[in-house]
Structure 1
Amino acid sequence: MSIFFTLLAKIIPLYFSVFLGFISTYLLKCDKETIAKILLYILAPLIVFNATISVKLDLQVLFLPISFFIFSTILAFVLLFLFKKIYSDNTANLLAFSTSTGNTGNIGIPLAILFLEPKLVDIFIFSILASILYQNSIGYYITAKGNFSAKESIKKVLKLPVIYAFILGIILNLNGIKIPDMLFSYSEFLKGAYAILGMMLIGMGMEKFRSSNSFDIKFISFTLIIKFILWPLATLIFIYFDKNFIHFLNNDFYMIMFLFSIVPLAGNTVTVATILNVKPEKMSMAVFVSTIVSLFYIPLVLYLYMN
């Protein structure tokens, strides 16, 4: 029970940010599209650049974001094919995009700090580049394709600065160039701003819940099953085969991978849905429900994994 209450204390402030987002739109009439653009075009590229240039690169460390990015990409296109048989509109695109990633930043990082050693926390943060890059490239393309042609969607992806921030960070890292010490504290402020605004955006999307058909039980059920059953199951299968046959990673990396797989839906999916105008209210509700479920789900699966 101590694990549960410790985790609960870490997550509760996130719900306060969701509430602030709801108030800012409902009472202050703030524009959620502006916040979404700040997250996507300013904060995300800066965070990606900082993490990419700072981490010590080796094969095991590189394997984590690369493997998760590939898994997310394959899963997204498979789910898009399947959901197109169920939905005739862009709901299929939104489902495929959102369930192939997770909230590895706002919830994943506190989990990593709670359960991992400091050096492993840095590796976990580097691994979440897989989520950020997927959400801002392949995921963005799949979601945009619900409203735009393939050519138009690719053009939109190529305009995203996070891709170029990642490439620049890798180039500088490989050449031994690091961020000056005086900017370290500023990078922490960026992470805090990204976490708070990202969760606020979920609350801002809830402002229209009462006037739209946002609570779609079938949509939410699909997201929960894929995120909370399929993701950890696929990760455990990989861990089993690597531990018994391949022997490429160790138990520390297994724990990083498992934490990565059990987080709820990503708040950034609301950002993309808002910018592309693909049912952002429905996406906000699904993210909020999955975050509530994760309060009870995460302590349970961690207990089972550790034992």
Structure 2
Amino acid sequence: MSLFFLLLLKIFPLYINIILGYFSTKLLDVKRESIASILIYILGPIVVFSATLSVKIDMSILFLPVFFYVFCSAIAFITLYVFRKSWSDPSGNILAFSAGTGNTGYFGIPLAIIFFPPYLADIYIFTVLASLLYESTTGFYVTAKGNFTVKESFHKMLKLPILYAFILGVIFNLLGVVIPEEVSSYTAQFKGAYGILGMMMLGMGLVGLKKGSDLDVKFISINFTMKFIFWPLAILGVIYLDRNFYMFLNEDLYKVMFLFAIVPLAGNTVTLAVLLNAKPEKASFTVLLSTIVSIIYIPIVLALYGGF
């Protein structure tokens, strides 16, 4: 139990940032859209570029974003096929999107910074590209199926500045470009800023949230089963197979994979629910509940895993 409480103390400050975000909008009238623009167009690209440039890319590290993109996409399509007719509105589409991803960015990156040494945190950030690409391609398609075309989702992906930061980082990495120590120590500060503002964004999204009549037990239970049970068990299965048979990865990369699997539901679930007018209050409440559950869930599963 001592390990559980140690892990709980480590992640608890992240929830303080959520509370600060809530009050910054509630009391100070800070605009969520402005913070989102800073994250998307300034902090995000800098964090991704510096992390990608810092990572020593080999086949095992490159495997992580490729694997997770395929894995996320497969889950989304299977979930859509199974549950597409379970609701009269697009809730099945929203469910398919959320089943295939998690809050690997705003929530996962701060966790990686807390638990991992800098080089491993950079590998985690490098892996988060899988979520970004999934949400802008497969995730967008399964959510907006019937409303938007594949071409429109592709154009949406091309507007992501983080994508170009990643490509530029990979090119510079392969060319052997090295960031001077003075510059890298400066860009390292952006990781902390990204983590703090990202968590505050979750709190800002709670302003005006009402449970109302949108408590959908079926929707919540399926989401939670996929995120909190299926995801970690599936990734543990992959780790078991590699550790005992393929030996392609290593213990550090297993930690990255497991952290990727245990974050709560993605905040972008709400964004796409608004886009489709698919009861966004229901999606907001589900995402909020998953974030609250993670206060206890994450320390428990990390303690069972053996800690980082």
Amino acid aligned to 2:131: S
Question: In the alignment, what sits opposite 2:13?
Answer: 13
Q: Give the whole-Å Cα distance in 2 for the aligned partners of 1:38 and 1:142.
A: 28
* Residues 276/155 of structure 1: CA separation in 2 closer, same or farther (3 Å cut): farther
Amino acid aligned to 1:123: I
Higher mean C-alpha displacement, 270-279 vs 125-134: 270-279
Shift of 1:131: 2.5
Q: Give the whole-Å Cα distance in 2 for the aligned partners of 1:38 and 1:278.
A: 27
Question: In the alignment, what sits opposite 2:291?
Answer: 291
5 Å-filtered alignment, 1:125-274, equals 125-145=125-145, 147-210=147-210, 213=213, 215-270=215-270
Q: Give the whole-Å Cα distance in 2 for the aligned partners of 1:53 and 1:162.
A: 13
* Residues 270/18 of structure 1: CA separation in 2 closer, same or farther (3 Å cut): farther
Does the CA-based 8 Å contact 1:73-1:100 persist in structure 2?
Answer: yes
Task: Show structure 2 runs of 5+ residues with no match.
Answer: none
Q: Give the whole-Å Cα distance in 1 for the aligned partners of 2:24 and 2:180.
A: 36
5 Å-filtered alignment, 1:26-175, equals 26-109=26-109, 111-112=111-112, 116=116, 119-145=119-145, 147-175=147-175
Q: Give the whole-Å Cα distance in 2 for the aligned partners of 1:56 and 1:35.
A: 31
Shift of 1:144: 4.7
Shift of 1:281: 4.1
Does the CA-based 8 Å contact 2:61-2:123 persist in structure 1?
Answer: yes
Higher mean C-alpha displacement, 45-54 vs 275-284: 275-284
SS in structure 1 of the partner of residue 210 of structure 2: helix
Q: Give the whole-Å Cα distance in 2 for the aligned partners of 1:156 and 1:277.
A: 19
Shift of 1:67: 0.9
* Residues 149/128 of structure 1: CA separation in 2 closer, same or farther (3 Å cut): closer
Q: Give the whole-Å Cα distance in 2 for the aligned partners of 1:53 and 1:252.
A: 19
Question: In the alignment, what sits opposite 2:23?
Answer: 23
Q: Give the whole-Å Cα distance in 1 for the aligned partners of 2:213 and 2:47.
A: 34
* Residues 48/118 of structure 1: CA separation in 2 closer, same or farther (3 Å cut): closer
* Residues 16/114 of structure 1: CA separation in 2 closer, same or farther (3 Å cut): closer
Higher mean C-alpha displacement, 187-196 vs 142-151: 142-151
* Residues 284/84 of structure 1: CA separation in 2 closer, same or farther (3 Å cut): same
Amino acid aligned to 1:204: M
Amino acid aligned to 2:257: M
Amino acid aligned to 1:203: G
Q: Give the whole-Å Cα distance in 2 for the aligned partners of 1:214 and 1:192.
A: 35
Amino acid aligned to 2:299: P
Q: Give the whole-Å Cα distance in 2 for the aligned partners of 1:122 and 1:164.
A: 17
* Residues 165/15 of structure 1: CA separation in 2 closer, same or farther (3 Å cut): same
Amino acid aligned to 2:103: N
Shift of 1:195: 1.8
Shift of 1:224: 1.1
SS in structure 1 of the partner of residue 21 of structure 2: helix
Amino acid aligned to 2:75: L
Q: TM-score, normalised by structure 2?
A: 0.85
* Residues 249/168 of structure 1: CA separation in 2 closer, same or farther (3 Å cut): same
Shift of 1:57: 0.7
Task: Show structure 1 runs of 5+ residues with no match.
Answer: none
* Residues 90/184 of structure 1: CA separation in 2 closer, same or farther (3 Å cut): farther
Structure 1 vs Structure 2: percent identity of aligned residues? 57
Q: TM-score, normalised by structure 1?
A: 0.85
Amino acid aligned to 1:96: A
SS in structure 2 of the partner of residue 208 of structure 1: coil
RMSD: 2.9
Q: Give the whole-Å Cα distance in 1 for the aligned partners of 2:275 and 2:34.
A: 9
